[in-house]
Amino acid sequence: FTPRFLKDYQPAPYQIHTVDLYIELDDERTLVRNQMQIKRHGDADENEPLVLDGQHMELQGLWLNGEALNASRYQCDEQSLTITHCPQAFTLTIETLVNPKANTALEGIYKSGGAFCTQCEAEGFRRISYFLDRPDVMAIYTTTIVADKDKYPYLLANGNCIERRDLERGRHLVTWHDPFQKPCYLFALVAGDFDLLEDRFVTQSGREVALQLFVDKGNLDKARFAMQALQDSMAWDERVFGLEYDLDIYMIVAVDFFNMGAMENKGLNIFNSKFVLADQRSATDDDFFNVQAVIGHEYFHNWTGNRITCRDWFQLSLKEGLTVFRDQQFSADMHQPDVTRISNVRLLRAQQFAEDAGPMAHPIRPEKVVEMNNFYTLTVYEKGAEVIRMLHTLLGEQGFQRGMKEYIARHDGQAVTCDDFIAAMAAANDTDLQQFSLWYSQVGTPQVEATSNYDANSGSLTLTVEQRPASGQQHPPLLIPIGYELLAQDSKKVMHKGVLSLTQTTQQFTFEQLNEQPVVVLLTGFSAPVKLHFSQCEDELMTIMVHADDGFSRWEATQILFRQCIAHYYQDESFSLADSLSRAFADILDAEVEPAFKALQITLPGFAEMTEFLQDVEPQQLLNALSRFKLDLLGKQQAKLQAMYQACDQKLQSGEGHGAGYRALKNACLEYLVQGQSFDTEVTAQYQKASNMTEKIAALQVAASENLPCFEALNRDFFAQWQDDSLVMDKWFSIQARIEDDAVFERLEGLLNHPKFSMRNPNRARALIGSFAVHNPKYFHHASGRGYDWLTDQIVKLDAINPQVASRLITPLIQTQGFASSVQETMRKRLQRLQQLDDISADIGEKINAALV
Ligand code: HT7
Ligand code: ZN
């Protein structure tokens, strides 16, 4: 597994200027004729051979300037095609055959259901044709597709349609031309028979854009929300960033077999149907939220990713961090900003922090990569977005937008680096971002330690703040923006607020002329992706919980109280709930706040989040602590929780207010109410009455996780009703994997052989295998090691089918840090077993080697 290094970057010696593709689709023998105009770079040696990337193809023919190439002029192996003695400028034509049906890796051209589709990011184009498969080679593409007209009435590619005609033997031909230069990873092709939802968008400059959404037949109604989300995204990007769409048509195709969420191919996005199809009956409120966010994300890439792309894959966060930040801002504007921000932080802390502390930790701009697909990570995406957010905090909205304008003015149409982005931001704001740019190369989650000292005589408050790199790391001090508020003890009013710039290892910040000792709130808005240690007493936290202006800080104060309490339960088996905490919990339940916010406030930190805050974790002991704590909270506040549950139910029935918020709160109460007592009738009633998936699936979920007597009947009913809906079946498989009883391993075997299960469908594999490893910690971390064995067995099978998906699902097994050494040892044994296998993929190999050093 040979690594590539950022430091070794060299521009390509040749550039490909135009690409003319002629593709005759066939299940097993798809013909690709690729005609390219190529020029050698001005400073490249004339003897430099042209080395094109290519895999999983049969070379059929090769012509240079129209003449068949003599065998002595080229060499072809499993990874590349090398051509020697190339002129300075020439036309190269390559004919290859590919086999879409056999393509289970879902990179290049493959079949999803009855349709042909492509996935080229990061390095999938090399499975379609021999090419300089790197993002700094940008070309103009013309694509002609030929296929059977009955089976594939829609033939789609990037850009505008310029020709369409019927051919002999029931076939037809369609040609597309994309007027914008692009890297090959943005190439796309789709051929199939779909239902089509059409609408339009008029841009701010008055151009009309046709919007087309292609979905499996019978699903038109489920596509309407996505269409609205697309129109909202287009309007938002114009309003907030001043960015307008540039082609006359924007197409989205939803497919069932897809490795990730969606792909931003120029003018022809391809989506996992999970992020397009949604209606109240079959999709949860979270699904709706995600559809809107992913539609926005892919749309926003048109400027941050497509018009300006990455010079090399080490720069991935240039487009992904920035685009995640943009989609987070969009979601915040479309929903409640506080609630959205808390969701971002929960994801970061539960998963990205673990990645940053694990064997695959890397900077947001990685420096060494074996398999690029392994670097589409929470670090590059979510921490990358946090880094952009810090810039936004430091420069302010206006300064940030000035920087964006400068970035676009400088680099439209280019493939650039993260340094180019930072340079544009700095120039537009006449500021120096040298120190800030360290965030692009540091690894791990920095720690920030704060203490406060109030001098009553002088009325001054001194905050001493110290930063430390993550354990085992070393780097100069970072520029860390630390949002703060000072709350008056008596009036509880905010006396001061702002952002402190921590630039040194240790720094003091003094506030003068205070006439009382304030309650200090630090890291408001989660202003930096760090672990903050700031010891505050229960009273202070309770003040913050109710009175801070910043919603994130109000939520965080409750989470700190919960985490501290869970830590006590964990350390002491006889620990029981203090009255003060029980009262605080009651206060939260009584507070006049938005229901969605309250739902988050009463949701306890989960297993993954808690492993971040404890050391040498014994999984069963932690699970035990979590459930005792929940049970005690219920014991003390059952009446309030029950009343809240019923009040939400009434609000929902009367159709009053925003349904999603009440559903979230109702389900959050349900999580408590089902603990250790009979709530069977209510769960059954919730399941049966629910006309939306949010309430239905929550009822089924708690019935499963608490082994309620009603579970079997509800489970059967759910299956009978939804067995033909693939996205809902994913939910069903996920729930089966989470059932906590001793029959779990037999059940999992049965599910692998279930007629509805297929390892070839990534959503299904994730639903069963991923859910077990992440959401069933009791059995995944079973002391016998059976949970680790089961995951290992599935990884071996899946790796032979789809290495990219297998490599994502192995994550819980490689993140051994944080657990007690005996647990780590049991996990590592399974990794050693995988390491000894002969034919594991580079994807899996890279991770295992990192985990076992
Ligand atoms: N830019 C895309 C990243 C991606 C991907 C998408 C689908 C299948 C495989 C993929 N590999 C990489 C998605 C995005 O961030 O928008
Ligand atoms: Zn993206």
Q: 381-415 in b/e burial notation, b at 16+ Cβ within 10 A?
A: bbbbbbbbbbbbbbbeeebbbbbbebbbebbeeeb
Q: Write a three-state SS string for 115-164.
A: EEEEECCCCCHHHCCCECCCCCCEEEEEEEEEEECCCCCEEEECCEEEEE
**Sequence-ordered list of residues with C-beta below 8 angstroms from that of 513, at least 6 positions apart, any chain:** 459, 460
What's the rounded Cα separation, in Å, for the pair 185 and 119? 8
**Same domain for 154 and 34:** yes
**Residue 306 three-state SS:** coil
- With a Cβ cut-off of 6 Å, ligand 1 is lined by 119, 121-122, 259-260, 262-264, 297-298, 301, 320, 376
What's the CA-to-centroid distance between 86 and ligand 1, angstroms? 34
743 has pLDDT over 90: yes
Residue 52 is assigned to a structural domain of this protein: yes
H-run or E-run covering 582: helix 579-590
| Residue 757 in tokens | 């299960």
Q: Which amino acid residue places its CA nearest to atom 12 of ligand 1?
A: 121
**Same domain for 765 and 632:** no
Average pLDDT on 277-297 reads: 98
526 has pLDDT over 80: yes
**Same domain for 158 and 50:** yes
The CATH number linked to 774 is 1.25.50.10
| Percent of the chain topping pLDDT 90 | 98
Among the bound ligands, name the one nearest to the CA of residue 843: 1
Q: Write a three-state SS string for 731-778.
A: HHHHHHHHCCCCCHHHHHHHHHCCCCCCCCCHHHHHHHHHHHHHHCHH
What's the CA-to-centroid distance between 174 and ligand 1, angstroms? 26
**Same domain for 27 and 155:** yes
144 has pLDDT over 70: yes
Mean model confidence pLDDT for the chain: 97
DSSP letter at 6? G
The residue to mutate among 103, 117, 121, having the most atoms of ligand 1 within 8 angstroms of its beta carbon, is 121
Give the model's pLDDT for residue 658: 76
| Residue 236 in tokens | 């938002």
Residue 138 is assigned to a structural domain of this protein: yes
**Same domain for 124 and 31:** yes
The residue to mutate among 110, 269, 272, 376, having the most atoms of ligand 1 within 8 angstroms of its beta carbon, is 376
**Same domain for 5 and 126:** yes
Give the model's pLDDT for residue 655: 87
What's the CA-to-centroid distance between 162 and ligand 2, angstroms? 29
What's the rounded Cα separation, in Å, for the pair 669 and 687? 15
Backbone φ and ψ for 614, nearest 5 degrees, come out as -110, 170
What's the CA-to-centroid distance between 766 and ligand 2, angstroms? 20
Atom nearest to 373 CA in ligand 1: 11
**Ligand 2 being an ion, which residues bring their Cβ within 5 A of it?**
320, 323
What's the rounded Cα separation, in Å, for the pair 6 and 476? 21
Using one digit for the tens of pLDDT, what is the confidence trace for 63-95?
999 999 999 999 999 999 999 999 999 999 999
| Residue 78 in tokens | 């499993």
458 has pLDDT over 70: yes
Q: Which amino acid residue places its CA nearest to atom 13 of ligand 1?
A: 263
**Residue 636 three-state SS:** helix
* CB 255 within 8 Å of CB 273: yes
- At position 637, the amino acid (one-letter code) is Q
Domain count for the chain: 3
Spatial CA neighbour of 19 closest among 210, 172, 184, 148: 184
Cα–Cα distance list, 79 to 52, 489, 652 (Å): 9, 68, 58
What's the rounded Cα separation, in Å, for the pair 666 and 646? 8
Is residue 677 very low, low, confident or very high in pLDDT (cuts 50, 70, 90)? low
H-run or E-run covering 353: helix 353-357
The residue to mutate among 106, 258, 260, having the most atoms of ligand 1 within 8 angstroms of its beta carbon, is 260
| Residue 844 in tokens | 């899996």
| Residue 273 in tokens | 């149907």
**End-to-end Cα, the chain, rounded Å:** 15
Q: 494-517 in b/e burial notation, b at 16+ Cβ within 10 A?
A: bbeeebbebeeeebebebeebeeb
**Which of 137, 161, 193 is the last residue before a domain boundary?**
193
Residue 159 is assigned to a structural domain of this protein: yes
Q: Which amino acid residue places its CA nearest to atom 4 of ligand 1?
A: 121
| Residue 794 in tokens | 């599935």
What's the rounded Cα separation, in Å, for the pair 145 and 165? 11
Atom nearest to 270 CA in ligand 1: 7
* CB 690 within 8 Å of CB 283: no
Residue 542 is assigned to a structural domain of this protein: yes
Using one digit for the tens of pLDDT, what is the confidence trace for 85-138?
999 999 999 999 999 999 999 999 999 999 999 999 999 999 999 999 999 999
Average pLDDT on 179-206 reads: 98
Spatial CA neighbour of 461 closest among 435, 436, 431, 495: 495
**Same domain for 749 and 629:** no
Average pLDDT on 317-333 reads: 99
Among the bound ligands, name the one nearest to the CA of residue 264: 1
Residue 229 is assigned to a structural domain of this protein: no
**Same domain for 147 and 3:** yes
Q: Which amino acid residue places its CA nearest to atom 14 of ligand 1?
A: 263
Using one digit for the tens of pLDDT, what is the confidence trace for 14-28?
999 999 999 999 999
What's the CA-to-centroid distance between 392 and ligand 2, angstroms? 19
| Residue 201 in tokens | 């968008």
**Which of 614, 638, 662 is the last residue before a domain boundary?**
638
What's the CA-to-centroid distance between 398 and ligand 2, angstroms? 24
Maximum separation of any 2 CA atoms in the chain, in Å: 94
Complete DSSP assignment for 178-227: EEEEEEGGG--EEEE--EEEEEEEE-TTS-EEEEEEEE-TT-GGGGHHHH
Give the model's pLDDT for residue 656: 80
Among the bound ligands, name the one nearest to the CA of residue 385: 2
| Percent of the chain topping pLDDT 70 | 100
Among the bound ligands, name the one nearest to the CA of residue 375: 1
- At position 632, the amino acid (one-letter code) is D
Which residues does residue 165 pair with via DSSP β-bridges, in sequence order?
173
Residue 226 is assigned to a structural domain of this protein: no
Atom nearest to 301 CA in ligand 1: 16
Cα–Cα distance list, 538 to 183, 207, 315, 467, 604 (Å): 55, 58, 44, 25, 17
Residue 165 is assigned to a structural domain of this protein: yes
What's the CA-to-centroid distance between 258 and ligand 1, angstroms? 10
258 has pLDDT over 90: yes
**Same domain for 627 and 743:** no
Using one digit for the tens of pLDDT, what is the confidence trace for 151-170?
999 999 999 999 999 999 99
CA 252, chain centre distance (Å): 19
| Residue 192 in tokens | 């199939």
Give the model's pLDDT for residue 553: 98
Among the bound ligands, name the one nearest to the CA of residue 106: 1
The CATH number linked to 109 is 2.60.40.1730
8 has pLDDT over 70: yes
**Residue 686 three-state SS:** helix
What's the rounded Cα separation, in Å, for the pair 62 and 565? 70
- As a whole number of Å, the CA-based R_g of the chain is 28
What's the rounded Cα separation, in Å, for the pair 312 and 29? 32
* CB 344 within 8 Å of CB 280: no
Atom nearest to 297 CA in ligand 1: 16
**Which of 596, 616, 638 is the last residue before a domain boundary?**
638
pTM (predicted TM-score):
0.98
What's the CA-to-centroid distance between 339 and ligand 2, angstroms? 22
- Catalytic residue positions? 298
Sign for the CA dihedral angle at 361, 365, 368, 371 comes to positive
Find the domain containing 564 and state its range.
535-638
Sign for the CA dihedral angle at 213, 218, 220, 221 comes to negative
Residue 143 is assigned to a structural domain of this protein: yes
What's the CA-to-centroid distance between 139 and ligand 1, angstroms? 20
**Same domain for 727 and 631:** no
**Same domain for 143 and 24:** yes
* CB 107 within 8 Å of CB 156: no
C-alpha angle with apex 753: 750 to 759, nearest 5 degrees?
125
What's the CA-to-centroid distance between 323 and ligand 2, angstroms? 6
Spatial CA neighbour of 727 closest among 754, 763, 698: 763
**Same domain for 755 and 615:** no
